[in-house]
Chain A
Amino acid sequence: MKIRGAGRIARSAAEALKYAALEYGGVREVSEFKKYMVEAGKLLISTRPTAVSLPNAVIFVLRNLRGVSNYEEARESVVKAADAFIKNSEEAVKRISEYGAKRIKEGSVVLTHCHSSTAVEVIARAYSEGRVVKVYNTETRPFLQGRITFTHLRKYGVPVVQIPDSAVRYIMHEVDYVVVGADTITSNGAVVNKIGTSQVALAAKEARVRVYVAAESYKFSPLTLIGELVKIEYRDPEEVVPRDWLDKHPGVRVLNPVFDVTPPDYIDAIITEYGVLPPQASILILIDKLGWTLESIKYSENIVENLEKIIE
Chain B
Amino acid sequence: MELQSRLSGSELFFEVAGRLIESAAAGVEKAFVEKLIDLYNYIVHDRPSSIASLNLLRLVAQRLLNEGFTGVDKYVSSLASEYDRALWRSAEVAARRVLDGEVVMTTSNSLAVRRFLKTLRDMGRKLEVYVTESRPGREGLVLAEYAESLGYPVTLIVDSAARFFVRDVDKVVVGAEGIASNGALVAKVGTGLLSLVAKEARKRVFVIAPTMKFSYETIYGELLKLPEGGAELIVEREEEPPEGFTARVPLYEVAPPEYIDGIATEYGLIAPQAIPLLLRSIYGEYPPSYQPLQYLIQVLTERYGVKK
Interface of A toward B, CB cutoff 8 Å: 136, 138-142, 147, 150-151, 154, 160-171, 194-196, 198-199, 202-203, 206, 232, 240-241, 245, 249, 251-257, 260
Per-residue A-contact encoding for B25-42, CB less than 8 Å = 1, 0 else:
000000000000000000
Q: Is the CB of A206 within 8 A of B231?
A: no
Q: Is the CB of B249 within 8 A of A164?
A: yes
Q: Is the interface of A mostly helix, strand, loop or mixed?
A: mixed
Residue from A167, A203, A245, A257 in contact with B164 in the complex, judged by beta carbons closer than 8 Å: A257
- For B163, the chain A residues whose CB sits under 8 A away are 198-199, 202, 260
Q: A140-B160, A169-B192, A252-B154 are in contact. Are A164 and B165 (CB under 8 A)?
A: no
Q: Is the CB of A252 within 8 A of B145?
A: yes
Q: Is the CB of A141 within 8 A of B253?
A: no
Q: Is the CB of B189 within 8 A of A164?
A: yes
Q: Complex: how many Å from CA A252 to CA B146? A: 10
Q: A199-B160, A241-B141, A260-B161 are in contact. Are A170 and B243 (CB under 8 A)?
A: no
Q: A199-B193, A240-B133 are in contact. Are A167 and B253 (CB under 8 A)?
A: yes
Q: Complex: how many Å from CA A166 to CA B197? A: 12
Minimum Cβ distance to chain A for residue B182 (Å) = 17
Q: Is the CB of B156 within 8 A of A196?
A: no
Residue from A151, A169, A199, A260 in contact with B242 in the complex, judged by beta carbons closer than 8 Å: A151
Q: Complex: how many Å from CA A99 to CA B165? A: 35
Q: Complex: how many Å from CA A196 to CA B159? A: 8
Task: Please provide the chain B residues from 152 to 188 with a CB less than 8 Å away from any CB of chain A in the complex.
Answer: 152-165, 188
Q: Complex: how many Å from CA A147 to CA B231? A: 12
Per-residue A-contact encoding for B223-266, CB less than 8 Å = 1, 0 else:
00010000100100000011111111110010000000000000
Q: A139-B234, A203-B196, A245-B141 are in contact. Are A154 and B243 (CB under 8 A)?
A: yes
- For A160, the chain B residues whose CB sits under 8 A away are 246
Q: Complex: how many Å from CA A251 to CA B147? A: 9
| Closest B residue, CB atoms, query A148 | B242
Q: Is the CB of A150 within 8 A of B242?
A: yes
Not counting A163-B249, A198-B164, a sample of 9 additional A-B residue pairs whose C-beta atoms are within 8 angstroms of each other reads A140-B160, A160-B246, A166-B132, A166-B188, A196-B160, A199-B162, A202-B196, A256-B161, A260-B160
Judge if B136 is at the interface, Cβ distance under 8 Å.
yes
Q: Is the CB of B156 within 8 A of A252?
A: yes
Q: Is the CB of B145 within 8 A of A249?
A: yes
Most buried by B among A140, A251, A257: A251
Q: Is the CB of A165 within 8 A of B247?
A: no
- For A240, the chain B residues whose CB sits under 8 A away are 133, 156-158
- For B248, the chain A residues whose CB sits under 8 A away are 136, 161-163, 167, 171
